[in-house]
C-alpha cells in the first residue's frame, strides 16, 4: 500500500497513537488503513457414485496458485454473505454442484498467510462438472485420493480428519447403512468440529 | 474508497471482467481492491468466584459503538495471529485476564455488517481488571446477567447458548463437581460447537 484510499496522498507505515501494531496511516488526512485476515470458506462434498459408494468430490485447479493440483471447493468469503452461502457459492462456481444442508467441520488458522479456513461437510447428488476455475472434477475413495497432488496442507488435513472420523463413526454404528458405503444424516451430525492451526 | 492505494489515482466502482461483483478498480493502473468480511474473535471466560461458584466474566464498554453496555472480551482478529491468539489477546486488552486452554464454541455470520464472530469458551483464575477499552469488569451468574444492557445480539446468543448447554451438561452428569458450581475439563470438552447466522 502506497497511497491513502480516502484522499490519495502518500501513506506511512507507523504504529498509531493508542495502538501497538504497524498500520498504513495517511500523511495528510491521518486515516488509518486496517488490514485483517481473510476467510476462505469451502466444503468437503460427499456424493454417492453410480457404484453405490459415497465418495469425496475434488476439483483440479485451473488457476494459480497451485495450478493443476487437486483441492476441495473453497474460496474467499465475500462481503454480505454468510459462511454457508460462501461455501455453497464456491461449490457452484468450481464444480457446478448443488449442496444440501451443510455442517461446519474444520476451522483452521493459517497465521503465516493471515487466512482462516472454514470448511463444511455436505452431501449432494451425483451431478457436477468443472466450473471456470477447475480443469477437472472427480469422485475419490480414500485410497484413490491423489495425496501427493493436493493443492494445500489444509486440504490434506481436512481429508485426513474426514476419513479418520468416518472410520470411527462406522465402527461405532453397525446399525447404519454402511454396507452401502453411505453416511446417514445422523452420522453427518455426529462429526466433530475440528479447530486447529497450521504453521509454516 | 476514493483513490487507488497502489498508484494514488481515482477508483471506479464496477464489476471487473470475469467477476460478478462490484469492486473498486483503479481508473489508471486497473488494480482491483477486494474487500472481505472481518473476523471478530472473543471468549466467554468462566471464573470461580470467592463464593466457589463458576461465573461469567463480562466487560462494560468504554468505547463506541455501544459505550456503557456489557459485552464479552472480543475484537477484530489481526494479521499474523491464530484465532486463539486473537481471543487471548482481546481478553488481556479488555480485562487483563490470562486464559487457560480455549475451546471453540460459537461461529456466527453477521452478513449485514460482513463480520464473522468466532467465540471461544475458557477457564481462568479469579484475577482480572478493566483494560483501556473497558469501564468495568465483573462476574455474573445467569440470573445476574444484565440482559437488557448487552452490547450486541451475538453476545446475547452466546450467553443463552452457554447457560442452556451448561444446564444440559449438569443434568447429564450427576457425578461431576456441580455441587461446587464449577465445570470440569471433561464438561468443557462436552460443549457443542454452534454455527449460525444473525440477520438484521
Interface contact B36-A77, CB threshold 8 A: yes
Q: Does B7 touch chain A (CB under 8 A)?
A: yes
State the pLDDT at residue A177.
Answer: 52
Residues of B whose CB is below 8 A from A4? 3, 5
> Does residue B13 register a pLDDT over 90?
yes
Interface contact A3-B7, CB threshold 8 A: yes
State the pLDDT at residue A185.
Answer: 64
DSSP per-residue string spanning A38-107: EEEEEEEEEEE-TTS-EEEEEEEESSSSSTT-EE-SEEEPPTT--HHHHHHHHHHHHH---EEEEEEEEE
Give the pLDDT band of residue B95 (cuts 50, 70, 90).
very high
> What is the distance between the alpha carbons of residues A150 and A148, in angstroms, rounded to a whole number?
6
Contact predicate A137/A49, CB 8 Å: no
**Interface confidence (ipTM) of the complex:** 0.93
- The average pLDDT across B48-61 equals 95
Interface contact A79-B39, CB threshold 8 A: no
Which of B25, B118, B38, B4 minimizes the C-alpha distance to A78?
B38
Give the pLDDT band of residue B139 (cuts 50, 70, 90).
very high
Query: Any residues with CB less than 8 A from the CB of B160 and at least 6 apart, and which?
Result: none
B174-188 pLDDT tens trace: 655 555 567 776 678
Residue A89 burial (CB count, 10 A): 17
- The average pLDDT across B105-132 equals 97
State the pLDDT at residue A184.
Answer: 72
Average pLDDT, chain B: 93
> What is the distance between the alpha carbons of residues A100 and A121, in angstroms, rounded to a whole number?
10
State the pLDDT at residue B98.
Answer: 92
- The low-confidence residues of chain A, meaning pLDDT below 70, are 174-181, 185-186
Measured in angstroms, the CA of A84 and the nearest CA of chain B are apart by: 9
> Does residue B34 register a pLDDT over 60?
yes
Give the pLDDT band of residue B173 (cuts 50, 70, 90).
confident
Residues of B whose CB is below 8 A from A38? 36
At which residue does the C-alpha cell 474508497 appear?
Answer: B1
State the pLDDT at residue A171.
Answer: 82
> Does residue B110 register a pLDDT over 70?
yes
Which of 23-42 (A) contact B at CB < 8 A?
Answer: 24, 33-39
Residues of A whose CB is below 8 A from B121? none
State the pLDDT at residue B153.
Answer: 97
State the pLDDT at residue B189.
Answer: 84
A72-81 pLDDT tens trace: 999 999 999 9
Higher pLDDT, B91 or B189: B91
Domains contained in chain B, CATH given: 1-35 (2.20.70.10), 38-197 (3.90.79.10)
Amino acid at each position: 500500500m502506497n497511497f491513502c484510499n480516502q484522499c490519495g496522498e502518500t501513506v506511512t507505515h507507523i504504529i498509531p497513537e493508542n495502538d501497538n501494531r504497524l498500520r498504513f496511516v495517511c500523511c495528510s488526512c491521518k486515516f488509518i488503513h486496517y488490514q485483517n485476515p481473510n476467510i476462505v470458506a469451502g466444503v468437503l462434498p460427499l456424493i454417492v457414485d453410480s457404484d453405490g459408494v459415497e465418495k469425496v468430490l475434488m476439483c483440479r485447479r485451473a488457476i494459480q496458485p497451485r495450478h493443476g493440483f487437486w483441492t476441495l471447493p473453497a474460496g474467499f468469503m465475500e462481503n454480505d454473505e454468510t459462511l454457508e452461502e460462501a461455501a455453497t457459492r464456491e461449490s457452484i462456481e468450481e464444480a457446478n454442484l448443488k449442496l444440501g444442508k451443510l455442517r461446519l467441520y474444520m476451522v483452521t488458522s493459517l497465521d503465516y498467510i493471515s487466512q482462516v479456513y472454514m470448511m463444511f461437510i455436505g452431501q449432494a447428488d451425483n451431478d457436477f462438472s468443472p466450473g471456470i476455475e477447475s480443469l477437472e472434477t472427480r469422485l475419490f475413495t480414500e485410497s484413490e485420493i491423489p495425496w501427493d497432488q493436493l493443492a494445500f496442507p489444509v486440504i490434506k488435513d481436512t481429508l485426513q480428519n474426514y476419513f479418520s472420523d468416518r472410520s470411527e463413526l462406522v465402527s461405532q454404528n453397525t446399525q447404519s447403512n454402511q454396507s452401502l458405503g453411505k453416511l446417514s444424516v445422523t452420522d453427518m451430525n455426529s462429526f466433530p468440529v475440528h479447530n486447529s492451526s497450521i504453521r509454516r
